[in-house]
Amino acid sequence: MKLYDISLPLSEDLPTWPGDPKLSIRLAASLLQGDDANVTRLDMSVHSGTHIDAPFHFEPEGIGVDALPLEILIGPCRLFDLGSPLNGIDAAQLKGLDLKGIKRVLLKTRNSTRWAQGDTAFHRDYVYLTTEGSEYLISQGVQLVGIDALSIEKYAYPGHPTHHALLRNQVVILEGLDLSPVPAGDYELIALPLKLKGADGAPTRAILRALDTEMNH
């Protein structure tokens, strides 16, 4: 059964969110330097690369990433390829998609092309989910939404209404996906964030498993 790794490789080449800590992966001990072992030291924002946002990211009383239900993080999902050169994914766009019975939604956009090209710059003009778009997904019973941008929200959008709408409604936000190698269709999603106690998010290894009957949308 085919597996797709839709996680970004964490490295110092990865673009990080402006203002967030720079990602640093260095050897704290090194065999080449005469140490007993290679030991890597990691310093990064939890919103680096492929990651999950927990309600605590924007809600002071929200739960941490370790408290997110595994039942949402693993299960059937539908990947939509929105292809066209849109900027904000709005409700009108989403109404054209078959979301019936779908709890987990992945949105593939032109953002994935940049990952595929190995683009290491941070671009502000990424495709995002509008507030109306997020409200529409909530109204349809969606419990997890993934996107191929480092943030699901328009860059520097005041008040972060998309994040608030999703997180207040216990919708899991999966960001920083590389969906470039994956055709639209139905898959099993396995997206497991590190179990960081009470944290506002965590780096996540996200995998899609192809189903026997792959259908295209």
Q: Which residues bind Zn ion (CB under 5 A)?
A: 47, 53, 175
Query: Among all residues, whose Cβ is closest to Zn ion?
Result: 47
Within the chain, residue ranges assigned H as helices are 70-73, 91-95, 111-116, 131-139, 161-168
Closest contact distance (angstroms) between CB of 85 and Zn ion is 24
Q: Which two tokens stand for residue 175?
A: 């960001």
Through-space distance between the first and last CA atoms of the chain, rounded to whole angstroms: 20
DSSP 82: -
Identify any residues that bridge with 189 across adjacent strands, giving them in sequence order. 75, 208
Which of helix, strand or coil describes residue 113?
helix
Closest contact distance (angstroms) between CB of 48 and Zn ion is 9
Of 53 and 178, nearer to Zn ion (C-beta) is 53
57 counts as catalytic: yes
Closest contact distance (angstroms) between CB of 177 and Zn ion is 12
* Residue 217 vs residues 80, 212, 213: alpha-carbon distances, Å: 7, 16, 13
Of 99 and 130, nearer to Zn ion (C-beta) is 130
User: For residue 165, what are the contacts with CB-CB under 8 A and spacing of at least 6?
Assistant: 131, 134, 135, 138
Of 28 and 67, nearer to Zn ion (C-beta) is 67
Of 51 and 103, nearer to Zn ion (C-beta) is 51
Closest contact distance (angstroms) between CB of 47 and Zn ion is 4
Q: In degrees rounded to 5, what are phi and psi of residue 48?
A: -85, 140
Q: Which of 47, 51, 57, 163 is catalytic?
A: 57
Give the residue numbers annotated as catalytic, written as ranges: 57
